[in-house]
Amino acid sequence: MTPSPDPRRRLTSDELIAMFVAFLSIGGIFFWATRQPDTGLDFGSLFSSTPQVAPSPGAILPSPEPPRGTAIVPPANPQTLLPIPPIEATSAPQPTTQATVPPSPTAIVPVPAPSPNNLPNLVPSPTTPPSPGAAKGFIDVPGDFWAAAYISELTRRGILGGFQDGSFKPNEPITRAQFASLLGKAFGKPKERQAQTFEDVPANYWARSSIDDAVQSGFMSGYAEGLFRPDQQIPLYQLQVALASGLNIQSPAAPDQTLAKFQDVGDLPKWAQGKVAAAVGSGIVTGFPSAQQLTPNRVATRADAAALLYQALVKEGRITPTK
């Protein structure tokens, strides 16, 4: 059994020296800690009698210097500096790019081409020329129609045309511009006159070139005031005068005698009697609706124009008359 130490035992010299060194080390560490400027607890200011003055915002603080001649003892256990977490930079959101998927060929639905039956009823106005149609078979031109043969032959030659709904509209009035267009298709005569400028026929008018050809080839003329009146409906006698003029058919020596058989010859303007008599004498005038009447002031129709053009082409030897 180990005997217990005597509490009254005196410390040896070695123990006293060890204690002195220990206290001296602790005091040195304490003294060094109080002299550090960045320490969290400023123990030096607690025991200093000199008041601390807060620096002004604009004052320049002197750099701290360690006391001269004083040995700096490093701490036994240096402080461990914790790493500062990195600041994550806030990046601007990047736009989301979606991949473009090419459409599948099977996803394309073909659009059927519109058939003539599905087109809207686009009936052109009297100032719009009809589109070329079939040589025969117009829904409004029966076989027993008085001008059916004329219409069929001129349609076959591409001079006349029907409408998109399959009609010809034979009884529809014809305008001066429309008749000028037919003259160019039927005859194609060389130009013999100077070109004229009409105030009511702008450069972008649909029949501008046809009107120019009809005037320069001698078929038609304008009015004294510099107008052509392209959209004006034509009296029947003016169609006869135009054909006799353009084809250079000579008037008979006695126009009155040629026209005497017509009961309504008095309705014919005096200035037009010679040309109308020339048309009658050459066989251009068909005698419709009556062989005893000219009906000169009746508005000419598309059927009238077809009949007169047909007879004029026969007279010129370009068409063999049907029997």
Q: Tens digit of pLDDT for each residue in 229-272? A: 999 999 999 999 999 999 999 999 999 999 999 999 999 999 99
Please report the pLDDT score of residue 38 as a whole number.
53
Q: Domain spans of the chain?
A: 173-315
Tens of pLDDT along 41-51?
A: 454 444 444 44
* Phi, psi of 175, rounded to the nearest 5 degrees: -100, 170
Q: Which of 11-15, 27-31, 73-77, 155-159 has the lowest mean pLDDT?
A: 73-77
Kindly report, residue by residue over 169-199, the tens digit of the pLDDT: 999 999 999 999 999 999 989 999 998 999 9
Given a contact cutoff of 8 angstroms between Cβ atoms, the answer to whether 263 and 295 are in contact is no
The band of 24, judged by pLDDT with boundaries at 50, 70 and 90, is: confident
Residues 6+ apart with CB under 8 A from 165: 121, 123, 139
Contact in structure between 203 and 239 (CB atoms under 8 Å): no
The answer to whether 157 and 182 are in contact (CB under 8 A) is no
pTM of the model: 0.59
Q: What CA–CA distance (Å, rounded) separates 138 from 124?
A: 16
**What average pLDDT is seen over the chain?**
77
Asked whether residue 76 carries a pLDDT value surpassing 80, the answer given is no
